Structure 1
Amino acid sequence: MTQSAGDNQQLAPITDASRETVGGELEEVVADAGYSNGEQLRQVQSSGIKVTVPSNRAANNHGTGKHFQKSDFTYLPEQDAYRCPAGKYLPHKIISRRDRLHLYSRSGCNQCPMQARCTNADRRSITRHFDEQILDTADQAATPKRMVQRMTLVEPPFAILKRMLNQGRFRCWRLASASSEYSLGVLSYNLMKAINVLGVQGMLARLR
């Protein structure tokens, strides 16, 4: 339970809680795009856990789908620059610490024969996140098959719990009380699943 309005700061705390629950044996974390956050991904990966999270970043398409996308540009680590499809370099310009982004840009696009496929302006810019490589690695691991598997395993329990908890609205006030109410819902769900799998007699036999 959390009072946070979004999920993008929750990946590391949830991973730590999950690892504690399973006794430290945690190899991979799979989450939806709402959890995509470079700092959180870095924190989880630094503990030796593989992270599978699709990117939640907008495409840099300059307002039209006919233009080259960021993936069409090649990052050159040694030069800390991007090379465009026409072979020109976009050098590093500025840093936005608030958005955790590097900006790469070049002018003179009016003289380029490929301008119509790149930009309507004389300048083309590309941004690179501080944690770009980590975000890309987590995104590449989020294959359609992997994410469908996550959805089929994770989403049904929450849908059932939401119905059990009166469409997800808690009757209790404050975080501690709401957490207790939710824990009762989880306990009820687990008992229901156990009865469906083992049957009442099977459960009683295991308690003897």
Structure 2
Amino acid sequence: MSETKEIKVSTTDSESGYMYREGKPEGFFYLDHRTTDLKFNIITDVHVTAGNVHDSVPYLERLDRQRERFGFNVEAVALDSGYLTTPICKGLVDRNVFGVIGHRRFKSSKGLMPKWKYKYDKETDTYRCPNGEVLKYSTTDRDGYRHYKSNPESCSTCPLLSQCTKSKNHQKVITRHVWEDYKEQIRENRLSKSGKMLYKKRKETIERSFADGKELHGLRYCRLRGRENVQEQALMTATAQNIKKIANHLAKLG
């Protein structure tokens, strides 16, 4: 018997979504996905979704919309760790956009060594464990993950076995997405001099834009129910913020 996932639905606004994230308030929310430019912090795109829609889902579509509608020549983007997915990494590389995405630390199972300690060899398409044993390619699942498996006979006598796997057959399995190379390229961008500078600017641009919208323009709470009404509120808020930004810039120019 297959398990069914329970989806919570609000009795007052069915178009909102139930959000549960570590360090965030829990409940029914809408999310404002917005984009700002680096030079003037002008909001160039606003898109509202239900609170249970992951940040990464609408991203590439919204990026393409801005490029096509406004003719933007997007050279680089800076995103937080929530956008570090293989489809987005591949999408940025395919679009020739220099992507910088925050690092996300995944916690390994208690008592087990983290995945980064297993080194991947691109030439042989294998992984090598800290004890020097090779994990060979086995199969690719329908989600695009390649499985690499160790030799149970070698693992059964390994002194690091208890720190490596809890598998009853003493076999270590590591997965690697078929687009993992794109994610590694984005990681290299983040560690570059340009990448560090670009990511640092996030605090001064998009994070500041969200903060101003919430603290100064009432975007912390929805005025009306329904996604379209919330989208309208978010657009009007962005318009007010942009008018102030443009006015301040023109005032500086005299």
Residue 102 of structure 1 aligns with which residue? Answer: 146
After TM superposition, give the deviation of residue 128 of structure 1 in Å.
0.8
Residue 3 of structure 1 aligns with which residue? Answer: 49
Distance in 1, matches of 2:149 and 2:93, equals 31
Higher relative contact order (CA 8 A, sep 6+): 2
Residue 100 of structure 2 aligns with which residue? Answer: 52
Relative to the length of structure 2, the TM-score reads 0.66
Amino acid at match of 1:47: R
Residue 28 and residue 83 in structure 1: after superposition, are their counterparts in 2 closer, same or farther (change >3 A)? same
Alignment of 1:140-155 (within 5 A): 140-143=188-191, 145-155=197-207
Q: Which has the higher strand share?
A: 2
Whether the aligned pair in 1 keeps the contact of 2:98 and 2:189 (CA below 8 Å) is: no
Residue 63 of structure 1 aligns with which residue? Answer: 110
Residue 181 of structure 2 aligns with which residue? Answer: 133
Distance in 2, matches of 1:178 and 1:49, equals 31
Alignment of 1:1-208 (within 5 A): 1-4=47-50, 5-20=53-68, 23-56=71-104, 58-59=106-107, 61-64=108-111, 67-98=112-143, 100-106=144-150, 107=152, 108-115=154-161, 118-119=164-165, 122-143=170-191, 145-199=197-251, 202=254
Q: Which has the higher helix share?
A: 1
Per-residue CA deviation, residues 5-50 of structure 1 (Å, 9 max, x unaligned), is 2112122112213324652311112111111221232223212112
The CA RMSD over aligned residues, in Å, is: 2.8
Amino acid at match of 2:157: Q
Residue 15 of structure 2 aligns with which residue? Answer: none
Amino acid at match of 2:117: D
Whether the aligned pair in 2 keeps the contact of 1:55 and 1:135 (CA below 8 Å) is: no
Residue 95 and residue 18 in structure 1: after superposition, are their counterparts in 2 closer, same or farther (change >3 A)? same
Amino acid at match of 1:3: T
Residue 114 and residue 179 in structure 1: after superposition, are their counterparts in 2 closer, same or farther (change >3 A)? closer
After TM superposition, give the deviation of residue 153 of structure 1 in Å.
1.7
Residue 177 and residue 115 in structure 1: after superposition, are their counterparts in 2 closer, same or farther (change >3 A)? closer
Whether the aligned pair in 1 keeps the contact of 2:48 and 2:230 (CA below 8 Å) is: no
Distance in 2, matches of 1:41 and 1:200, equals 38
Whether the aligned pair in 1 keeps the contact of 2:219 and 2:234 (CA below 8 Å) is: no
After TM superposition, give the deviation of residue 56 of structure 1 in Å.
4.1
Aligned residues: 198
Residue 43 of structure 2 aligns with which residue? Answer: none
Residue 18 and residue 201 in structure 1: after superposition, are their counterparts in 2 closer, same or farther (change >3 A)? closer
Whether the aligned pair in 2 keeps the contact of 1:95 and 1:103 (CA below 8 Å) is: yes
Partner SS, residue 139 of structure 2 = strand
Amino acid at match of 2:210: F
Partner SS, residue 65 of structure 2 = helix
Whether the aligned pair in 1 keeps the contact of 2:119 and 2:129 (CA below 8 Å) is: yes
Which stretch of structure 1 is more off in the superposition, 185-194 or 169-178?
A: 169-178
Amino acid at match of 1:71: W
Give 5+ residue unaligned stretches, structure 2: 1-46
Whether the aligned pair in 1 keeps the contact of 2:77 and 2:100 (CA below 8 Å) is: yes
Relative to the length of structure 1, the TM-score reads 0.78
After TM superposition, give the deviation of residue 86 of structure 1 in Å.
2.5
Per-residue CA deviation, residues 148-175 of structure 1 (Å, 9 max, x unaligned), is 3222221011111123442422223443
Whether the aligned pair in 2 keeps the contact of 1:83 and 1:90 (CA below 8 Å) is: yes
Give 5+ residue unaligned stretches, structure 1: 203-208
